[in-house]
C-alpha cells in the first residue's frame, strides 16, 4: 500500500522548477517502488501537482512522487526519505 503523500519543502520545489526550465542535465537520487535508493542522470521534463500530490517527470519518461526524492545535484531534500 502506498504511503500518504508528504509535500516537500516549498523552496526546494521552486529549485526543481528552475532546473526544469533551464533544461540542464541533473543527477537525481530517489527511492524506487522497490524501496531502493536509485540514481539517474538526465533532464527534468516537468514538475507538477495532480490530486494534491507533486510529481517529477524526467525526459526519459520516468515519473515519481516528489516525496520519494532524496537529492538533486548533490543537494539533499529537506526531510527526504533518505535511507
The CATH class of 10-76 is: mainly beta
- Band (pLDDT 50/70/90 cuts) for residue 77 is confident
- Band (pLDDT 50/70/90 cuts) for residue 79 is low
> Residue 31: left (phi > 0), alpha (psi -120 to 50), or beta?
beta
pLDDT in tens, 25-45: 999 999 998 999 999 999 999
Contact (CB, 8 A) for 42 and 50: no
pTM higher than the cut 0.75? yes
- How does DSSP classify residue 66? G
Contacts of 62 by beta carbon, 8 Å cutoff, 6+ apart: 40
Contact (CB, 8 A) for 27 and 73: yes
Residue in the block written with cell 548533490 = 74
Extents of the domains making up the chain: 10-76
Amino acid at each position: 500500500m502506498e504511503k500518504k503523500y508528504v509535500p516537500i519543502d516549498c523552496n526546494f520545489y521552486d529549485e526543481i522548477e528552475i532546473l526544469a526550465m533551464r533544461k540542464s542535465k541533473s543527477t537525481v537520487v530517489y527511492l524506487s517502488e522497490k524501496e531502493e535508493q536509485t540514481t539517474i542522470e538526465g533532464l527534468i521534463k516537468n514538475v507538477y501537482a495532480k490530486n494534491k500530490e507533486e510529481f517529477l517527470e524526467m525526459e526519459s519518461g520516468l515519473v515519481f512522487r516528489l516525496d520519494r526524492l532524496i537529492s538533486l545535484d548533490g543537494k539533499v531534500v529537506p526531510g527526504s526519505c533518505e535511507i
